[in-house]
C-alpha cells in the first residue's frame, strides 16, 4: 500500500491513524489495512482495519465506532427504549449510519417499521460491507427503511408517527449541533404518539458536563418523564457515557424492566443497573431537577 491516505501517517513501515479532534489528547491507532475510503458529499469516510479494535468507522479522521466495542453503545441505545416501551411498533432512528441500532431494534417482533435516517449513504454502504458485526451485513431486516436525508428536516411534520425515537448522533459540533437543540427536541416530541418515548446519547458526564446538562434540561422541559442512564463506551473519551430518556408515558422502575433478547453486552440486570448514577452525577441531575 503506497497510496497516500488522508488522515493516515506511515512511520517505520507501520500505518497509524492519529485523531486530531482534541487539543490536549491524541490517540493513535495502528492500522493493518484501509478497507474503505471515500470522500462523500458530507465527509471523508473510512473503514480501517485496526490492530486493537478490528474494523473501525472513521469520519473526517475521527473514530466513530469499532467492531471491538460498538455493540455496547448500540445495544444500550436500542434496548433501553424498546424494553421500556410495552409495544414499540414504529421506530425512528436518527443518525446511526453504522446500522447497529437498527440491527438491534429488529430483534423485537412487535416492531413493524424501522425508519433509519442517515444523511450519508456512503457510511451505510461502508458499514454494511466492511463492519458486518456492527451493521448486521448486506442483507438487513426488511423492516428497516433507509432514508438518506437530513434527520432534522425529516422529523418535522411527522405528528404522532412514532412509538420510539432513537437519536444516535455524533458529537455536538458542526451539523450535529442541531441534534442537541430545543427545536429539534420539540420536533421529536411532536413526532411521537401519545405513549411515545425518545432516547439520545448525551455525551460524557466527566468531560462534557455542560452539553449533558443542557440536553437534560431541554428534554426535561418537554417531556413529563425523564431519566438518565450510563454505559461504558471504551473508545469514547472518558469511557463513561450518558444517555437520556424522555417519555410521554410513565417509566417503569428499574427493577420492573424485562429483557429477553440475545445480546453481547445488555442483559436484564445491566439495563436495570444502568440507572444507578455515580454520586456526582446523581447530585448534578438532582440539583437541576430541583430548580
> Can you give the binding site for its own copies, defined by CB under 8 A?
16, 22-30, 50-52, 68-69, 72, 206-207, 230, 232-234, 236-240, 263-267, 269-270, 272-280, 282
C-beta closer to its own copies: residue 32 or 145: 32
Q: Is 190 within 8 Å of 91 (Cβ atoms)?
A: no
Shortest distance in whole angstroms from residue 179 CB to its own copies: 24
3-state SS assignment for residue 234: coil
C-beta closer to its own copies: residue 38 or 49: 49
Q: Which helix (H) or strand (E) holds 200?
A: strand 192-201
Shortest distance in whole angstroms from residue 207 CB to its own copies: 8
Shortest distance in whole angstroms from residue 280 CB to its own copies: 5
The answer to whether residue 115 is catalytic is no
Q: Is 43 within 8 Å of 121 (Cβ atoms)?
A: no
State the Cα–Cα distance between residues 223 and 234, nearest whole angstrom: 30
Classify 137 in phi/psi space as left (phi over 0), alpha (psi -120 to 50) or beta. Answer: left
**Residues placed in the known binding site:** 43, 98, 118, 150-151, 168-171, 175
**Residues placed in the known binding site for S-methyl-5'-thioadenosine:** 43, 118, 150-151, 175
Q: Which of 69, 120, 168, 187 is catalytic?
A: 168
C-beta closer to its own copies: residue 197 or 281: 281
3-state SS assignment for residue 220: helix
State the Cα–Cα distance between residues 23 and 19, nearest whole angstrom: 10
Catalytic residues: 168
Amino acid at each position: 500500500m503506497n497510496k497516500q491516505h488522508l488522515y493516515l501517517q506511515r512511520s517505520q513501515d507501520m500505518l497509524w491513524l492519529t485523531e486530531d479532534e482534541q487539543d490536549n489528547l491524541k490517540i493513535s491507532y495502528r492500522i493493518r489495512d484501509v478497507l474503505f475510503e471515500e470522500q462523500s458529499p458530507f465527509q471523508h469516510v473510512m473503514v480501517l482495519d485496526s490492530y486493537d479494535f478490528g474494523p473501525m468507522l472513521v469520519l473526517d479522521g475521527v473514530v466513530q465506532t469499532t467492531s471491538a466495542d460498538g455493540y455496547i453503545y448500540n445495544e444500550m441505545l436500542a434496548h433501553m427504549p424498546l424494553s421500556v416501551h410495552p409495544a414499540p411498533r414504529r421506530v425512528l432512528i436518527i443518525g446511526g449510519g453504522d446500522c447497529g441500532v437498527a440491527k438491534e431494534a429488529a430483534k423485537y417482533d412487535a416492531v413493524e417499521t424501522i425508519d433509519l435516517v442517515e444523511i450519508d449513504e456512503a457510511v451505510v454502504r461502508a458499514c454494511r460491507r466492511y463492519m458486518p458485526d456492527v451493521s448486521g451485513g448486506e442483507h438487513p431486516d426488511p423492516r428497516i427503511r433507509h432514508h438518506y436525508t437530513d434527520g432534522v428536516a425529516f422529523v418535522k411534520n411527522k405528528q404522532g408517527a412514532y412509538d420510539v425515537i432513537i437519536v444516535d448522533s455524533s458529537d455536538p459540533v458542526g451539523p450535529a449541533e442541531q441534534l442537541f437543540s430545543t427545536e429539534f427536541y420539540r420536533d421529536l416530541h411532536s413526532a411521537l404518539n401519545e405513549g411515545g418515548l425518545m432516547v439520545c446519547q448525551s455525551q460524557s458526564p466527566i468531560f462534557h458536563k455542560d452539553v449533558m446538562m443542557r440536553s437534560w434540561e431541554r428534554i426535561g422541559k418537554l417531556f413529563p418523564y425523564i431519566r438518565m442512564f450510563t454505559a461504558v463506551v471504551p473508545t469514547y473519551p472518558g469511557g463513561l457515557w450518558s444517555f437520556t430518556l424522555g417519555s410521554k408515558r410513565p417509566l417503569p422502575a428499574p427493577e420492573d424492566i424485562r429483557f429477553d433478547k440475545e445480546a453481547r453486552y445488555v442483559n436484564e440486570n445491566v439495563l436495570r443497573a444502568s440507572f444507578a448514577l455515580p454520586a456526582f452525577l446523581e447530585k448534578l441531575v438532582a440539583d437541576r431537577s430541583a430548580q
